[in-house]
Chain A
Amino acid sequence: QLQLQESGPGLVKPSETLSLTCTVSGVSITSRGYYWGWIRQPPGKGLEWIGSISYSGSTSYNPSLKSRVTISIDTSKNQFSLKLSSVTAADTAIYYCARRGGVTATPLVDYWGQGTLVAVSS
């Protein structure tokens, strides 16, 4: 059974870098055809795609966040990570790690982590 689990600080100071890790269990992160990504949800608001990374390390990012985002993959630990720099209060959100399934032509999130709330505050 595939599971994703986010980990990282729940509080980040303004202007600093938010760092989260997603640990994948139940499947190899290098399995062909899958992408791994991050999606966030500000409290009481909708979903926003942050970016994704392929099993081979190819990345794509939301243009609105691209200048501040880095997603990387650590195959030895079966993990992938998110770094978001120069955070402000607007970056306060529940951050979900997720898997894009390989079946559909249009990206579909078929597995989600439980989400972790990250607050940006001094």
Chain B
Amino acid sequence: QSVLTQPPSVSGAPGQRVTISCTGSSSNIGAGYDVHWYQQLPGTAPKFIMFSNNNRPSGVPDRFSGSKSGTSASLAITGLQVEDEADYYCQSYDSSLTWVFGGGTKLTVL
């Protein structure tokens, strides 16, 4: 059972918009800790695609955006492309001094 809750799967057609939610609690996201997002392509290590809620590292297209409010955060992907098909994980920090991850969301591009 992951500390942060994500939907197991989301899907969308090419060109569409999808959002992935990440729900925490008052001891992590709600305590003011930032949320980061990672993309994991099949058979590879994760890589960060969003940091500190809504900041994109260089090389990540602006089709990806992030937001945070209260005890939750979201990753939005617009103009879906086939290469976006991957697992996505949110991550934050908890007052128990633990780095916490969501359970992951599998994005399928139909």
A contact residues vs B (CB 8 Å cutoff): 37, 45-49, 52, 60, 62-63, 96, 103-110, 112-115
Kindly identify, within residues 41 to 70 of chain B, every residue whose CB is under 8 Å from any CB belonging to chain A: 44-48, 51-52
Closest-by-CB residue of A relative to B29 is A106
B45 x A114 contact (CB < 8 A): yes
Interface segment out of the listed B11-19, B75-83, B100-108: B100-108
Closest-by-CB residue of A relative to B6 is A46
| A109: chain B residues within 8 A (beta carbon) | 36, 38, 46, 48, 91
In Å, the complex CA distance between A88 and B109 comes to 37
A112 x B104 contact (CB < 8 A): no
B47 x A107 contact (CB < 8 A): no
B contact residues vs A (CB 8 Å cutoff): 2, 33-36, 38, 44-48, 51-52, 89, 91-93, 96-104
Pick from A48, A96, A105: contact of B45, CB under 8 Å? A96
B34 x A115 contact (CB < 8 A): no
Given contacts A106-B36, A107-B93, A109-B38, A48 and B101 within 8 Å (CB-CB): yes
Closest-by-CB residue of A relative to B96 is A63
Closest-by-CB residue of B relative to A109 is B48
A106 x B52 contact (CB < 8 A): yes
| A60: chain B residues within 8 A (beta carbon) | 97
B101 x A47 contact (CB < 8 A): yes
